[in-house]
A and B are shown apart, each in its own frame.
Chain A
Amino acid sequence: MKKKNPIQAFFASVKLTLFVLFMLAILSIIGTVVPQNKPAEFYVEVYGANMAGLFQTLDVPDMYSSWWFTGLLILLSLNMIVCILERFPNAWRLMTMDNLQTKLQKLERMGQRRLFSSDMSPSKTTEAMKDIFARKGWKFQQKSQDDGTLLFAQKGTWSRLGVYAFHASILIIFVGAMIGSFWGYKAGVRIAETTTTDTVYEFGTQKPIKLDFMVKCKRFTLTYYETGMPKEFRSDLAIIENGKEVLTKSIVVNDPLSYKGLTFYQSSYEAYQKLLVTLKNNETGVSKEFLIPPGEEIPWTEEKVSFGVINKQMTATPGHFRYKVWFNDNNGEAASMWMEEDSTSSLQRPQATYTITLKEFFATGLQVTKDPGVWCVYFGCTLMILSLVVAFFFSHRRIWVHVSESGQGSRILISGSANKNKVGFDTTFAALTESIQENEQIEAASGHAKESS
């Protein structure tokens, strides 16, 4: 065996893997006990000035992106890369090798082997063996040699890739995470109903990021269960590009909106002490939207109307209110009526009929994420699951049958090996060799090969 240089030996060792996994497990605990990413004063208050100073020096408040934690992840990656590079060539050789070159001496010494004798000629015996094994799904390759005929079949050859694909999948996830952290960002924005914005603010730094399109919050609705628990936060969003609405979608917590690589998530909301009122004169068809504080008289000068919200009451549904609306168009007596939140009513006046819509005024809080690496991460995750199944539950099983002339009949040597799940393979091998004896002309030979099985 080639002598390795010490650096390669260090990175190729599984002791390093065990050490890194152990350290990652232990050190990860710190960040679950010490709250992460709080303002500096928080740590001074909770842990005292000295301890807080130590924490800041060691990046404990943001430990999962600290140099030492990242360093461990890099060490783990290097460890995996070197192990893959060092071991894969041999696995590839075992997958692609010509197993018909296997020497008879090697077959005679294999862990799983059984010897049989047959009354038939070697060529007939070979055909019989091919038949029996084909019924069990083993398709033989064949080669004639001086000392007889060698048959070979294998199953699950590709399963040797499983363990490499698994470790590669972790590296792919890391690459996806790096793409996300270099070329992506997470930001937040608050958009009041009916308003539009093109700027979001990066988390942490609050740096403004300008989008190349506009986002409008048409409406935010908050609904409750009868118990008073919130049921749904829904924002009706629209994407506006060059003055045109190109996309509209109602988003809820588990159903975001994606546009041009950005995804908008419902993350919070804010209630203002204001109401959004729409008035429409049904005769003229003129309508206008007003954002009003309660308790004030609001003029609609174009229509010579004034109105206001003069009272507020809780309804039977918790968190749901009704409002008393006052209305005057200087034709007859001023009117007032109760309206449920988020409802529409019509008001009959001597000169015209008005439609009034009223709802509480909210701003929706959106999280905005740009993560071009997420597909890489998902690909890595899919590969991880598939490769784990392959690595754990499939094995490379190989069977050789050597048929040679012996007296009037033939001598049959069956050998087999599996790279994993040896107990399972032993059972398969025993069942296969049992089924051979169903052919009346073949019987187990009391040769030296039998005692091993």
Chain B
Amino acid sequence: MNSSQLLGVSTLGFLLASMLYIGALIFRAKTVSLVASILTLLTFLVLTGGIGLRWYESYQMGFGHAPLSNMYESLVFFAWSIVIFYLVLEFKFKNRILGAFAIPFAFVSMAYASFAKGINQEIAPLIPALQSNWLIAHVMTCFIGYAAFAVACGLGIMYLLKRDGKKEKTTGLIGTLPALKIIDDLIHKTIIFGFLWLSVGIITGAIWANSAWGTYWSWDPKETWSLITWFVYAATLHARFTRGWTGKRIAWLAIIGFVSVIFTYFGVNFLLAGLHSYGSS
């Protein structure tokens, strides 16, 4: 057994769990959502084992490092963060319907890591710039934040589905979703959590940059986009705290904020890097 088998099983597990969560929502079947939760938990354990094993395997290969060093490993860790964040949320708020809006994100991340072109799954040694203890602190804090924002986005979509003009849909499929007031409160709490971790992630990145390159901030596209994301959520929190924005507007901001997260994560690597290499060649 090796780590890539475990990670492959996890991808399937999250696909199945996503289908079960969505099925439970559509058919209003409580037992199905319980099965979905158990499957998610089991898959999470397999995934954790897979990440741990990959870590161990890198030591076996003679250049051990935490499996957080490239796009593939970060996508896997992103899925892991989303799932643990979701499981805590489910446990705390005793609501399994949220799973239909959170676990699919984890599946997409795993599937993208496994099947997308140009994503190298090999365990590779660390280049000199990445050989630092800040790697773990920086990547983990950022991804806990990203995971919270992914769930906030899922909740935002849920809110907009439930909302019917100025009223709340109480009938049909959508009627089974939690009350708007509860979703709204959850979006807010999730964004606060994500904002805290994004701040820690940016700060650990700055400290790391200063110890590796002698500058804590250099306005490179990745840094700048993480700051743009921070501005978007800072504005969201101010709008809510001081201008009393709630509901639809905050739900949209949760979605816009996540678009910015995704751009920070992928866009900078693929799109802007492309522009830059075009520009310089």
Q: Is the CB of B127 within 8 A of A25?
A: no
Residues in A3-28 with C-beta less than 8 Å from chain B: 14-15, 17-18, 21-22, 24-25, 28
Q: Given known contacts A14-B243, A35-B280, A230-B128, is B234 in contact with A21 (CB within 8 Å)?
A: yes
Q: Report B63 CB to chain A, min CB distance, Å.
A: 7
| Stretch binding the partner chain, chosen from A107-115, A250-258, A285-293 | A250-258
Q: Is the CB of A32 within 8 A of B268?
A: yes
Count contacts on A: residues with CB < 8 A to the other chain: 50
Residues in A124-156 with C-beta less than 8 Å from chain B: none
Query: A319 contacts the other chain (Cβ, under 8 Å)?
Result: no
Query: A33 contacts the other chain (Cβ, under 8 Å)?
Result: yes
Of the candidates A15, A28, A369, A389, the one whose C-beta lies within 8 Å of that of B228 is A28
Q: Is the CB of A263 within 8 A of B207?
A: no
- Chain B positions within 8 Å of A265 at CB level: 212-214
- Chain A positions within 8 Å of B69 at CB level: none
Count contacts on B: residues with CB < 8 A to the other chain: 47
For A380, the closest partner residue in chain B by CB is B203
A371 to B207, CA, bound (A): 13
Q: Report B180 CB to chain A, min CB distance, Å.
A: 15
- Chain B positions within 8 Å of A28 at CB level: 224, 227-228, 231
Of the candidates B63, B213, B224, B232, the one whose C-beta lies within 8 Å of that of A225 is B63
B101-129 CB mask vs A (1 if < 8 Å, else 0) is: 00000000000000000000000110111
Q: Is the CB of A388 within 8 A of B199?
A: yes
Q: Given known contacts A367-B214, A369-B215, A374-B216, is B238 in contact with A14 (CB within 8 Å)?
A: yes
Q: Given known contacts A18-B235, A225-B125, is B219 in contact with A31 (CB within 8 Å)?
A: yes
Q: Is the interface of A mostly helix, strand, loop or mixed?
A: helix
Residues in B184-230 with C-beta less than 8 Å from chain A: 185, 192, 195-196, 199-200, 203, 206-207, 210-217, 219, 221, 224-225, 227-228
A225 to B61, CA, bound (A): 11
Q: Is the CB of B243 within 8 A of A227?
A: no
A392 to B224, CA, bound (A): 25
Q: Is the CB of A263 within 8 A of B242?
A: no
Q: Report A419 CB to chain B, min CB distance, Å.
A: 12
Q: Given known contacts A32-B224, A231-B128, is B203 in contact with A385 (CB within 8 Å)?
A: yes
Q: Is the interface of B mostly helix, strand, loop or mixed?
A: helix
A423 to B189, CA, bound (A): 12
- Chain B positions within 8 Å of A227 at CB level: 124-125
For B200, the closest partner residue in chain A by CB is A385
For A222, the closest partner residue in chain B by CB is B128
Query: A434 contacts the other chain (Cβ, under 8 Å)?
Result: no
Q: Given known contacts A230-B127, A389-B196, is B211 in contact with A254 (CB within 8 Å)?
A: yes
For B211, the closest partner residue in chain A by CB is A254
A414 to B55, CA, bound (A): 56
Q: Is the CB of A22 within 8 A of B199?
A: no
- Chain A positions within 8 Å of B200 at CB level: 385
Q: Report B2 CB to chain A, min CB distance, Å.
A: 19
A389 to B192, CA, bound (A): 10
Of the candidates B219, B224, B231, B260, the one whose C-beta lies within 8 Å of that of A21 is B231
- Chain B positions within 8 Å of A231 at CB level: 125, 128
A26-40 CB mask vs B (1 if < 8 Å, else 0) is: 001101110110000
Given contacts A21-B231, A32-B224, 11 further A-B contacts (CB under 8 A): A15-B243, A18-B238, A18-B243, A21-B235, A21-B238, A32-B221, A35-B276, A229-B124, A230-B128, A265-B213, A368-B214
- Chain B residues with a Cβ under 8 A of chain A: 63, 124-125, 127-129, 131-132, 134, 185, 192, 195-196, 199-200, 203, 206-207, 210-217, 219, 221, 224-225, 227-228, 231-232, 234-235, 238-239, 242-243, 260, 268, 272, 275-276, 279-280
CB-defined A-B contacts under 8 Å, sample of 29: A14-B242, A17-B235, A17-B242, A18-B238, A21-B238, A22-B231, A24-B228, A25-B228, A28-B228, A32-B268, A33-B275, A35-B280, A64-B219, A225-B125, A232-B128, A252-B128, A253-B128, A254-B132, A256-B211, A265-B214, A266-B128, A267-B214, A371-B214, A377-B206, A378-B207, A381-B207, A388-B195, A392-B192, A392-B196
